[in-house]
Structure 1
Amino acid sequence: MVAPSAFIFHVSRCGSTLVSQLLGLSEKNITLSEVPLIDELLRASRRQPDPSETEAALKAGISLLGRRRFGQEKHLFIKLDSWHVFFAGTLRRLYPGVPFVLLYRSPDEVVFSHQKRRGMQAVPGLLEPELFGMSHAESTSYDGDRYIAKVLEYYYSQFLLIAQNDDRAILLDYRQGGIDIVRRLARFAGMALDEAEIAEMAVRSRFHAKYPEQGFAEEKKESCVSAYLQPAQAMYARLEQLRARLSR
């Protein structure tokens, strides 16, 4: 069994899929991406008066998922669903020394991506709104774009809270680029990368993360922050200021 090397939290549409794929290129690594079992157990823990039994099942499930396949694996990277940031306290309690990676992106770019193809967290009613600190009435009062903008506010606020209070957490922004993000993540998690691995990652990063048969080209959109995005944009700016301060 390989113990977790890092949990990857993200705000969605911020390069987390590519990062997990790049890490998975190495035979030394096991990478798990948005595993339904982990999601089910984390969300079930909210419904239990005493979540200890569910948390024990979560640890057992992660141990099972982290078993060695070929014998040479040394690292286990777990990319969570975006809403799992609200369970960071549970995961920190269960895994006190494991690094938390906080991967994010500017809200206008995240919303633009969801406008093309919406994830579960971007559609009111698909996930229980209480996960995001909203009542059912509040969640149904927003259209799709305003809803994901509100969700992003909650994500960014949680990232700020974690980064300010947890010295085993690192902030990483999409604009740093996939290879640089993996380098920083690996260094923070205590994993060495050799030049052959970096070269293989560079080749893979030229292709789309979700459609690997397609070459990747960043779709440009003229930056225009709508009024409903301004609170999320302000939170994003605070994250960037904190990241700059912590990286000195």
Structure 2
Amino acid sequence: MGESQSPLEEELLPLRGFIFHTAHCGSTLLGRMLGSSSQVRMISEPEAINGLLLSYLMHEIPESQALNQLKQIIESYRISGDGKESIIFKLTSWNVFLIQLFQKLYPSSPWIYIDRETEELVKILTREDGGFIDWWHHPVDILRKHFVESSICVDQESYLRHMIEGHRKNALAAKNSNALLINYPDFLTAFPEILAHFQLSFSTEEIKNALRFQRFESKHFEPFLFKASL
């Protein structure tokens, strides 16, 4: 049997870009706003990418192998067939620590980073669980060591602060002409700028429908009215 061949670029949906972000910054809301258009296939925090990146870190997979597998995953999501015209990936927040892999594969692709004030986030995350928050509670330091120095994290609060600052540091280090760095909640009024950055053209009705999502809690499937987190 012959080897399966990768799809040709012209057979794939155009990649409009990537959304990198910190925690509790409105990235889920932005993803829903962009994905509300019939034009856009929005891929949100795919576990296939998370699993690969964790394996890359924890099992020291060669970078060339990780890049090849990451490209295969992204191309599998880009296969056309549902009437969508383009695709955007919203990645899990800690993926920004490995942003260099995405830039090596797609050096000309637009990307954004959504940030939020550090102390606001620390206050919120100390009341939350899930994701990298739970890494603090792991009895064996197999994950945290890849993101923060264990010696400077003396308690959960300091760990969260260094993780938040690490997100920002990696985004700033990767900043190039394809980047758009925005803050929560300022990005809520910057939707036209975000559309232009991703080279998307929404109709007046599509923009109206997208903006409706700002009224609701983005992490619920049902329309719970939005309340700002403090």
**Larger displacement relative to structure 2 (76-85 or 36-45):** 36-45
- The answer to whether 1:216 aligns with 2:216 is no
The answer for the alignment partner of 2:67 in structure 1 is 55
The answer for the alignment partner of 1:64 in structure 2 is 76
Q: What SS does the aligned partner of 1:97 have?
A: coil
Give 1:196 deviation, angstroms.
Answer: 0.5
1:49 and 1:70, CA in 2 relative to 1: closer, same or farther beyond 3 A?
closer
Would you say the 8 A contact 2:40–2:86 is kept in 1? yes
The answer for the alignment partner of 2:55 in structure 1 is 44
The answer for the alignment partner of 1:142 in structure 2 is 155
TM-score, normalised relative to structure 2: 0.85
Sequence identity, in percent?
Answer: 23
CA-based RMSD of the aligned residues comes to: 1.9
* 2-structure distance, mates of 1:52, 1:32: 24
The answer for the alignment partner of 2:102 in structure 1 is 91
Q: Please state which structure has a larger fraction of its residues in helix.
A: 1
Which of residues 183, 195, 202 is equivalent to 2:192? 183
Give 1:184 deviation, angstroms.
Answer: 1.8
Would you say the 8 A contact 1:41–1:55 is kept in 2? no
The answer for the alignment partner of 1:159 in structure 2 is 171
The answer for the alignment partner of 2:211 in structure 1 is 202
* 1-structure distance, mates of 2:172, 2:64: 27
* CA deviation map 1:31-87 (0-9, x unaligned): 11111101111222333352212321111111111222422x122111111111111
Which of residues 31, 35, 41 is equivalent to 1:20? 31
Q: What SS does the aligned partner of 2:226 have?
A: coil
The answer for the alignment partner of 1:132 in structure 2 is 147
TM-score, normalised relative to structure 1: 0.79
Equivalent residue pairs, number: 213
Would you say the 8 A contact 1:208–1:214 is kept in 2? yes
Give 1:182 deviation, angstroms.
Answer: 3.0
Would you say the 8 A contact 1:86–1:131 is kept in 2? no
Q: What are the ranges of 5 or more consecutive residues in structure 1 without an aligned counterpart? A: 222-248
Would you say the 8 A contact 1:11–1:104 is kept in 2? yes
Q: What are the ranges of 5 or more consecutive residues in structure 2 without an aligned counterpart? A: 1-11
* 2-structure distance, mates of 1:40, 1:26: 29
Alignment of 1:115-130 (within 5 A): 115-123=126-134, 124-126=136-138, 128-130=143-145
* 2-structure distance, mates of 1:58, 1:118: 28
* 2-structure distance, mates of 1:197, 1:115: 37
Higher relative contact order (CA 8 A, sep 6+): 2
* 2-structure distance, mates of 1:36, 1:184: 29
Would you say the 8 A contact 2:152–2:158 is kept in 1? no
